[in-house]
Chains A and B, each alone.
Chain A
Amino acid sequence: MSDTPDRKPQGGRRTLRGRGRGGSTTPGSSTGALPSQRLSSLRDNPQASTSGTAKSAGKMKFTPKIPVRRNKREPAAPSSIKPEAAAQETKPAEQRLSDSKGVRGSGPQNGRGGRGNGRKRVELTQRITGPFAQGPASLGSHARRGPATASGIAYGGAAAKTEADDGGGGLNGQESPAVVRVTDYNERDGQDEFDVQTEEMALAAFEEMSRLQLDYNTADALGLGKSEGPAEEKLVVLQIPRIPEFELSKPVLQRRRVARQQQRIAQRQKAAAAAMDVDAAAVDVKPDIAALEKAAGADGDVMEVDIKPDVSAADAKHAETADSAAEEKAGDSDLAASVDGRAGTLVVLRSGAVKLKIGDVLFDVSRGADCQFLRGLLAVDVRGGSSSAYMLGNVDAQLLCTPDLDSIL
């Protein structure tokens, strides 16, 4: 057959080598290197044993340690066991495995980058648990017994078609449950284009983002940017965890109380004037009213006097005082309820930050998420028998207020 010197078999391998060459000859190859490019895995790995399943002597038994897919593609890397290389090889197997098991790559896991270049490879493995933990049934149990012979290779779960499994592959010795190397097929195509994202890159990206944040001008939302002219009114929605409580200051309360009383008195005066049958008591009461206007004390319910003409002036006054006191209280609660006034200040700082101080609490103001859809403000009044709705305008921007914990704590 071949021209090579017939050597004594120095090992099962040798013999096989010698025989396996078929037609090609290279006389000078005394070292035993096979001239042919085929069967490179055999050439480079004289150690690889046949694991005892060698078939008849005449037949080449190709037993790499890595499960190899029986397709036209020749294993790119020799069966010297390098995890990276192995990963490459097992990919086709995984593909089938993944397809059959539906295990999808958890692609965007941390630290994961493109794999294709082989420069930096991130090993992604995922434990198989549950009913699939034992691997495919096609394997045959002998391959699964005990820890694997393959070192450190995650068993790609060769699909049924590969017959070359029986020696190689096996469960990953490091972990007892079967493990699947997970691939993200969405990224597979782009593997050659993307670089792996290193930590430096991630940090750089973060800094970039923070820088951008400052430029994301919150002040613009309020129409304070220099680019905008003196604006029309803007309607904004402020989001705040809780609105602090306020009360009116004493002078304001006082002022309001007096104003309200004046109002009331004025009304009654009009009513009294209209009523023609004002008796002397009523007339007497009027100047008192005038005198008391300035004081905080309650006064003059002229209506009462009209209704009860029999009541003596003194009694009438008593009644008046009591009534007015009650009214005053009612009035006060109304006043207290409608808190109206300056609650704080909003400042825009040169760095772009915007702060809000409401009462004694300091807030950071940032821009809320951009909203694509329409937002409006509606005032709905259901008091009385009829209801009315007043559309007050569209919301232009949303601002988020977060308490500035540094100042509070």
Chain B
Amino acid sequence: MSVSDTPSRSAAEYGLPDDEIVAEIPVYLTQKLDKQLHLLQYPQKDGSITPGELQPREARIKPIHGQIELDIPLDVQSPMYNKERGAALGVGISDSGRLLDITTLVSVGIPQNSEYLAGVMRDGELHLTAIKKAIQLRPSLRYLDRVAEKDLAAKKMDHSDEEEEVKKETKAQSVQVTVRSAQAEEALRQQQSSIAYMQQKLEEEPWSGLAYFDVGTEESNAVHADLIADNKEDLISKTTPDEYLTAVIGSIVPDVL
């Protein structure tokens, strides 16, 4: 993209009359993907890795809450991989004796203080689409919980030597859950605003499969094309600068409650 060849003009219309315009880039706004775009942050991953390295073997989503899980494979053949530990922890994934060969990344929503737009700079044009949500992906240690559960169950079995007891316990647990949720509306009403309730709701929503298409795949490229606006015509702005400022100030929620 070449820096503008037009004779340099004053930047008066941009509030700096003494300055010259060196480059001018049209900015386009499109909404085709704006219900779908998520900004992902991988706090534990370095910014320089290539997209292909994070291709998950399996992906899951809870559509209502928007939580995503990605199973990123680990290299079990690597000399750095500790097979004994892998086997011990693999119990947390399945009973089949497989090694721990995935890292599960779970998404956590990030509070947003301002609006975010994704921009594609292409051929001297900037195409913007609003980002719906920003999330962070962090490793989930659920397999450790499962390992602990299994250990506990195993110990109980050794102690009492009665399988029924274990079953009873699990049964008891499940019964407890039903009772809780079937319980009265009064309790529910109170609970509904509590974080614990929301957490529970989140856990109750089942995972559904998520088809993941990495960068470079056909499907992904097709969707990527939706980031570019088709229509190059000018849009009419509905907000005057004054209204804009009022709206911005009004939307700021103070942190102090």
- Give me the interface of A with B, judged by CB distance under 8 Å: 219, 222-224, 226, 230-231, 233-249, 251-252, 337-351, 353, 355-362, 371-382, 386-395, 399, 403-409
In the bound complex, residues from chain A placing their C-beta under 8 Å from that of B31 are 337-340
26 contacts between A and B (CB under 8 A): A222-B126, A223-B121, A231-B121, A238-B118, A239-B117, A240-B117, A244-B237, A246-B237, A252-B231, A337-B31, A347-B24, A348-B25, A349-B11, A349-B20, A350-B19, A351-B16, A353-B16, A359-B235, A361-B241, A373-B46, A378-B38, A379-B38, A387-B210, A388-B210, A407-B15, A408-B241
In the bound complex, residues from chain A placing their C-beta under 8 Å from that of B38 are 377-380
Could you tell me the distance between the alpha carbons of A394 and B118 in the complex, rounded to whole angstroms? 11
Query: Is B44 touching A380 in the complex (CB atoms < 8 A)?
Result: no
User: What is the chain B residue whose CB lies nearest that of A223?
Assistant: B121
Q: Is B49 an interface residue (CB 8 A)?
A: yes
Could you tell me the distance between the alpha carbons of A243 and B114 in the complex, rounded to whole angstroms? 9
Q: Is B84 an interface residue (CB 8 A)?
A: no
In the bound complex, residues from chain A placing their C-beta under 8 Å from that of B1 are 223-224, 230-231
Could you tell me the distance between the alpha carbons of A32 and B51 in the complex, rounded to whole angstroms? 88
Given contacts A238-B117, A348-B22, A375-B39, contact A393 B224 (CB under 8 A): yes
B100-132 near A? 1/0 per residue, CB < 8 Å? 000000000000001111111110001010110
Given contacts A245-B238, A380-B38, contact A346 B61 (CB under 8 A): no
| Residue with the greatest number of chain A CB neighbours at <10 A, chosen from B2, B3, B32, B119 | B119
Query: Is B47 touching A371 in the complex (CB atoms < 8 A)?
Result: yes
Given contacts A224-B1, A403-B245, contact A246 B238 (CB under 8 A): yes
Query: Is A374 touching B42 in the complex (CB atoms < 8 A)?
Result: yes
Query: Is B209 touching A379 in the complex (CB atoms < 8 A)?
Result: no
B49-68 near A? 1/0 per residue, CB < 8 Å? 10100100001010100101
B207-221 near A? 1/0 per residue, CB < 8 Å? 011111111000110
Interchain nearest-CB distance for A241 vs B (Å): 5
Query: Is B121 touching A341 in the complex (CB atoms < 8 A)?
Result: no
In the bound complex, residues from chain B placing their C-beta under 8 Å from that of A358 are 27, 29, 237
| Residue with the greatest number of chain A CB neighbours at <10 A, chosen from B31, B208, B233 | B233
B1-26 near A? 1/0 per residue, CB < 8 Å? 11100001001011110011111111
Could you tell me the distance between the alpha carbons of A6 and B210 in the complex, rounded to whole angstroms? 106
Q: Which of B47, B116, B213 contacts A374 (CB 8 A)?
A: B47
Query: Is B20 touching A341 in the complex (CB atoms < 8 A)?
Result: no
Could you tell me the distance between the alpha carbons of A118 and B247 in the complex, rounded to whole angstroms? 56
Given contacts A355-B15, A382-B63, contact A346 B126 (CB under 8 A): yes
> Which bracket fits the contact residues of B?
35 or more
Interchain nearest-CB distance for A247 vs B (Å): 5
Interchain nearest-CB distance for A379 vs B (Å): 4
Query: Is A340 touching B40 in the complex (CB atoms < 8 A)?
Result: no
In the bound complex, residues from chain B placing their C-beta under 8 Å from that of A348 are 21-25
Could you tell me the distance between the alpha carbons of A391 and B219 in the complex, rounded to whole angstroms? 10
In the bound complex, residues from chain A placing their C-beta under 8 Å from that of B39 are 237, 375-378, 395
In the bound complex, residues from chain B placing their C-beta under 8 Å from that of A235 are 118-121
Query: Is B231 touching A381 in the complex (CB atoms < 8 A)?
Result: no
Query: Is A408 touching B20 in the complex (CB atoms < 8 A)?
Result: no
Given contacts A244-B237, A391-B215, contact A238 B128 (CB under 8 A): yes
User: What is the chain A residue whose CB lies nearest that of B250?
Assistant: A242
Query: Is B45 touching A373 in the complex (CB atoms < 8 A)?
Result: yes
Given contacts A362-B15, A395-B39, contact A341 B232 (CB under 8 A): yes
In the bound complex, residues from chain A placing their C-beta under 8 Å from that of B54 are 374, 376
User: What is the chain A residue whose CB lies nearest that of B208?
Assistant: A387
Could you tell me the distance between the alpha carbons of A353 and B15 in the complex, rounded to whole angstroms? 11
In the bound complex, residues from chain A placing their C-beta under 8 Å from that of B46 are 372-374
Interchain nearest-CB distance for B226 vs A (Å): 8
Query: Lowest 7 A-B CB distances belong to which pairs?
Result: A359-B237, A343-B29, A246-B235, A348-B23, A374-B42, A374-B45, A238-B117
Q: Is B244 an interface residue (CB 8 A)?
A: yes
Could you tell me the distance between the alpha carbons of A222 and B20 in the complex, rounded to whole angstroms? 19
Sample of 7 further A-B pairs with CB below 8 A, known A350-B19, A372-B47, A375-B40: A247-B236, A343-B29, A350-B8, A371-B47, A376-B54, A407-B15, A408-B242
Q: Is B153 an interface residue (CB 8 A)?
A: no
Query: Is B131 touching A237 in the complex (CB atoms < 8 A)?
Result: yes
User: What is the chain B residue whose CB lies nearest that of A232?
Assistant: B122
In the bound complex, residues from chain A placing their C-beta under 8 Å from that of B116 are 237-240
Given contacts A375-B41, A378-B38, A382-B61, contact A403 B215 (CB under 8 A): no
User: What is the chain A residue whose CB lies nearest that of B222?
Assistant: A390
Query: Is B26 touching A345 in the complex (CB atoms < 8 A)?
Result: yes
CB within 8 Å of A: which B49-100 residues: 49, 51, 54, 59, 61, 63, 66, 68
Given contacts A242-B247, A403-B248, A407-B241, contact A341 B231 (CB under 8 A): yes
User: What is the chain B residue whose CB lies nearest that of A234?
Assistant: B121
User: What is the chain B residue whose CB lies nearest that of A400?
Assistant: B114
CB within 8 Å of A: which B137-180 residues: none
Could you tell me the distance between the alpha carbons of A89 and B113 in the complex, rounded to whole angstroms? 52
Could you tell me the distance between the alpha carbons of A236 and B117 in the complex, rounded to whole angstroms? 8
Query: Is B235 touching A343 in the complex (CB atoms < 8 A)?
Result: yes
Q: Is B190 an interface residue (CB 8 A)?
A: no
Query: Is B118 touching A249 in the complex (CB atoms < 8 A)?
Result: no
Could you tell me the distance between the alpha carbons of A360 and B245 in the complex, rounded to whole angstroms? 12
Query: Is A340 touching B224 in the complex (CB atoms < 8 A)?
Result: no
In the bound complex, residues from chain B placing their C-beta under 8 Å from that of A247 are 235-236, 238
In the bound complex, residues from chain B placing their C-beta under 8 Å from that of A399 are 119
Q: Is B202 an interface residue (CB 8 A)?
A: no
In the bound complex, residues from chain B placing their C-beta under 8 Å from that of A245 are 237-239
Query: Is A390 touching B126 in the complex (CB atoms < 8 A)?
Result: no
Interchain nearest-CB distance for B210 vs A (Å): 5
